[in-house]
Amino acid sequence: MPALGAQLRRAFTEVGFYFIRGHGVPQAMVDTGFEAAARFHAQPLEAKLAMPFNRDNIGYLPMRGNTSRMNAVEGIKKPNANEAVFFKRELPADHPDRASGRRFRGPNQWPADLPGFREAALAYAGAMEELGRRLVPIYAVALGLPADWFADKFREPMFTLRMTHYPQQEATSPEDEWGLAPHADTSFMTILAQNKVPGLSLRLPGGRWIDAPALDGAFLVNGGMMLRRWSNHTFLATPHRVTNRSGGERYAIPFFMDCDYDAVMAPVPSCVTTENPAHYQPFTYPQFMEEYTGANYGERAAAGVALQGA
């Protein structure tokens, strides 16, 4: 594991993302995830609107339903030209967090007439969570910590599965209209299945944008603002953007994984030095996410989160 930790540290201090192969996730499951996304978005608009995006960040967000602000890395004025549906961990109805109404822990919304969709989405999310859990110890080693340092903070990690549809953007579309505007994710870890339809670009630390390579059978993994904040700016939050000018429809199924709901994230001790003192007070997942959603999804913005990754 020391060799993997060194590779991951180099990736997140010099590049901002990495690819993983030999992950054990069958290609058939990935294909089923993309098919599920296409099936969902092929439904009539009325069926999708019956699952409205809510305060738990669950449900359907219609075309141009949000604008990247809090995590934007360039001046963003126009809403994103995509539609998406969001799912989180499936909790039983009698779960204490459901009963108490804790934010981001509400029930998933499922399409009323799409056989097999729920099962496919949950299976894919489960496979991605398992993969993410296997990767977390490498992050600890990469930060100069024991491999089990994060173990008590990822007992039941928060996660979001997003299924996005990027319609073809015409050549006459404004230059400042994006399928997904330049931004950095909020996550500790984003796991992205490789897409056969191009459109994703990544920004290197020096500011140069490159088209994301598409490696067969691999997942692209990047860090977000939570990882950057927790690592006291040691690790990068990778800016990226999407423009679909492929001539066809584009779908994406990113999986965003974070720590446990109540885990307290103080700057990692190995990342706090005299030259790099702690930049943040300890925070939790709901505190962090409430600030983000307030800016990007139309609620009153809360103060306190820097635009990391810019």
The model's pLDDT over 116-155, given as tens digits with 9 standing for 90+, comes to 999 999 999 999 999 999 999 999 999 999 999 999 999 9
Report helix, strand or coil for 265: strand
pLDDT in tens, 183-217: 889 999 999 999 889 899 999 988 899 999 888 89
From the list 88, 81, 82, the residue with the least C-alpha distance to 55 is 88
Report helix, strand or coil for 87: strand
Adjacent-strand bridge partners of 114: none
From the list 224, 231, 220, the residue with the least C-alpha distance to 278 is 231
Rg (CA), the chain: 19
Confidence (pTM)? 0.90
For residue 176, what are the CA distances in angstroms to 71, 76, 77, 169, 275?
Answer: 17, 8, 8, 12, 39
Number of H-type helices and E-type strands within the chain: 7, 12
Query: Is a pLDDT exceeding 90 seen at residue 296?
Result: no
pLDDT at 299: 45
Query: Is a pLDDT exceeding 50 seen at residue 304?
Result: no
From the list 55, 21, 75, 115, the residue with the least C-alpha distance to 300 is 55
Strand 83-87 and strand 255-257: pairing? Answer: unpaired
Read off the amino acid at residue 150. Answer: F
Instruction: Tell me what the mean pLDDT of segment 47-65 comes to.
Output: 91
Q: Which residue has the tokens 């963003």?
A: 76
Are the C-beta atoms of 295 and 70 separated by less than 8 Å? Answer: yes
Q: Residue 301: which pLDDT band, with cuts at 50, 70 and 90?
A: very low
Q: Residue 246: which pLDDT band, with cuts at 50, 70 and 90?
A: confident
